[in-house]
Chains A and B, each alone.
Chain A
Amino acid sequence: MDAMIARLTDGLSRRAFVLLAGLLAVLLAAPWIANDYLLTVLIVILYLAYTGQAWNIMMGFAGQLSLGHAIYAGLGAYIPAVLFTRLGIGPWVGLLAAVPVAAACGAIIGFLAFRFGVAGVYFAILTIAFAEFARIGFDHLTFVNASAGLFLPVAQLAHNDLWRLRGSPTMFYYVILAATVFALILSRLLLRSRVGYFWLAIREDEQAARAAGIDTFRYKMYAVMISAAVTSFAGVFYAFFYNNLFPEQVFNISRSIEMILGPIIGGIGTLFGPILGAFVLTGLAESVTSAMAAFGLDLPGAKQIFYGVCLLLVVVALPEGIWPSLARRLGIGERER
């Protein structure tokens, strides 16, 4: 335990520590300051920060581009939701079922791809194919109400029931905040572990990593499975926060794209990039939406165009993302890059 804490804080400058603690304090206090609207926006931001970190484990650390992460979130949403609506089993027990299923699903995709030498863009397309397969499959699965959608009984807001995840937005906010902190800690521990160094070696040059004696197949499998398992919790949260699930939405390719935008804009492979990216992207998108509402404009695709333009600008102008240059300016550069 001490070794773990040492590994967590080692190499973290005092300034970085203070900034992180400050941010956490602000986020912890947010429900007292923020109104309902802002709190909902914060929940969306933290949700994307969490999923972004989960995706970042696979792409940012191990260099495996997945464009089908919606499948893991989708499984994580559907399994506990079905257990809850059919058998009355609570979400945390459902999570225990969702995590192994998502990890197994990641293992299947990873095994098929890595064993048969499917890499790079082909791998990305394979991940999309699986997610699309799941989307259409669930759309025809009458057991989960197919395309008609699965609905969870809406919560009575009288009191917060953390065990059954029924309650006020404030409760959900703290749950997703805790998850985001957990993902940050996990990411840092992973990155500073033996596995993490192997991942970076694979990301930088897989041939060389293999030549150096790293079992690249095994470590790529770890990356997919861990990333899938972490992502599945986001699905649980999604199911119990929104209370309705449609395959067309949950498994949609745009869910996968949304998950990866934050880390890309923040900085792929960095620890704080996914979190920063989620704040920047959602913050800007919400400002655009409210600005348009203020001018009485209602254009359904405008937010997505904005996402597209942001992505375009970042890819063209800041290929490393925002965080690396911002971190240098703050004097807290991440050394593991």
Chain B
Amino acid sequence: MGLGVYLNVAVAGLLTGLVYGLMALGLSVIFGVVRVVNFAHGEMMSIAMYIAVVLFSSFHLDPLVMLVPIAAVMFVFGYTLQAGLINPFITRPEHSQFLLVVALAIIIVNALLIIFGPDARTVQTSYAYDSFELGAVIVDASKAYAAAAAIVVTTALFAFFRFTLIGKAIRACADNYTGALVVGLNVNHLYALTFALGAACVGAAGTMMTLITDVTPALGPGYTLLAFVIVITGGLGSMPGALIGGVLIGLTEALAGLLFTPSAKSMFAFGILVLVLLFRPQGILGRRLV
């Protein structure tokens, strides 16, 4: 195998990693502000993936076009979930919150199983087999579009938190819960909004993911774990950290798949998680800021 093969695989891993990063970003935003570990994150992504697959197979709507609508649907889903179910749990012990979300995750996975069955579904776009050649590197068109969309969404989210008043208010909630209450912020609404934004992120990531891989209900827990691995690697609560973690894990998985066997690739992601937890528990860019 020449260097070119490694380069190709690395680029593919990097592009997938950007989509992973967007998925993990949603988790990171939710944890950074609401302080609830969303253990149903991968399952929420499965929901978005199935919406994208159904829209494509029934109405031939391209996932790239449906990115915003699906993210909007997940936004509403996230808002309702936080406002209706999770909010009363904010003051409960950690394990209690955790179990609530685990229960949700179990319900989502199996509801998807009952509705769609265990078989893999996929989106066959017209550009599924297109590619760009950049010198020695051949870039898969679907992956490139997915990664580009992930970058756009991420940038929009960064801008939102940086420049808008609501973004600032959410950051204030994250920095100081009591302080936010004192200055009269509607914390419950802002929390729900944050959860909704996190859900929208994972919705967008899920929609893009359908361009890269197929979907089965059983994938949900795997994606949840992957999102956690990425976020902990990058630093829980750090937005750039989530992206860097995503790229790192994407690269690791791709290269491990090439050097060893693809089925063992997530072992390497877990290996990285263990190393990070042990030697830099706060993550690569971990700080307590959004």
Q: A residues near B, CB below 8 A?
A: 59, 65, 112-113, 116-118, 120-122, 124-126, 128-130, 132-133, 136-137, 139-140, 253, 257, 264, 268, 299-302, 304-305, 307-309, 311-312, 315-316, 319
Contacts and interface: CB of A to CB of B under 8 A. Distances in A.
A146 to B, nearest CB: 10
B69 interface: no
A301 B100 contact: no
Contacts of B264: 136, 139-140
A132 B102 CA distance: 17
21 contacts: A113-B277, A117-B281, A121-B37, A125-B225, A125-B273, A126-B273, A129-B229, A139-B263, A268-B95, A301-B111, A301-B113, A302-B114, A304-B106, A304-B110, A305-B110, A305-B111, A307-B106, A308-B104, A311-B99, A311-B102, A312-B107
Q: Interface SS of chain B: helix, strand, loop or mixed?
A: helix
A309 B94 contact: no
A3 B71 CA distance: 64
B114 A124 contact: no
B278 A112 contact: yes
Interface string B260-289: 010110110011011001110100000000
Contacts of B228: 125
Q: Which has the most chain A C-beta neighbours within 10 Å: B100, B106, B221?
A: B106
A121 B99 CA distance: 11
Nearest to A59: B95
B118 interface: yes
B232 interface: yes
A122 B103 contact: no
B103 A301 contact: no
A301 B274 contact: no
B267 A133 contact: yes
B106 A311 contact: yes
A130 B109 CA distance: 22
A132 B221 CA distance: 11
Nearest to A121: B37
B98 interface: yes
Contacts of A121: 37, 94, 98
Contact of A116 (B96, B273, B281): B281
B96 A319 contact: yes
Given A116-B281, A136-B266, A308 B99 contact: no
Contacts of A136: 263-264, 266-267, 270
Contact of B110 (A112, A302, A311): A302
Contacts of B96: 315, 319
Nearest to B92: A319
Contacts of B261: 140
B106 A300 contact: no
A257 B114 contact: no
Contacts of A305: 106-107, 110-111, 114
B103 A315 contact: yes
Nearest to B99: A315
Interface string B220-234: 010001001100100
Contact of B98 (A113, A124, A316): A124
Contacts of A128: 225
B234 to A, nearest CB: 14
B110 A65 contact: no
Contacts of B270: 129-130, 132-133, 136
A305 B115 CA distance: 12
A116 B276 CA distance: 11
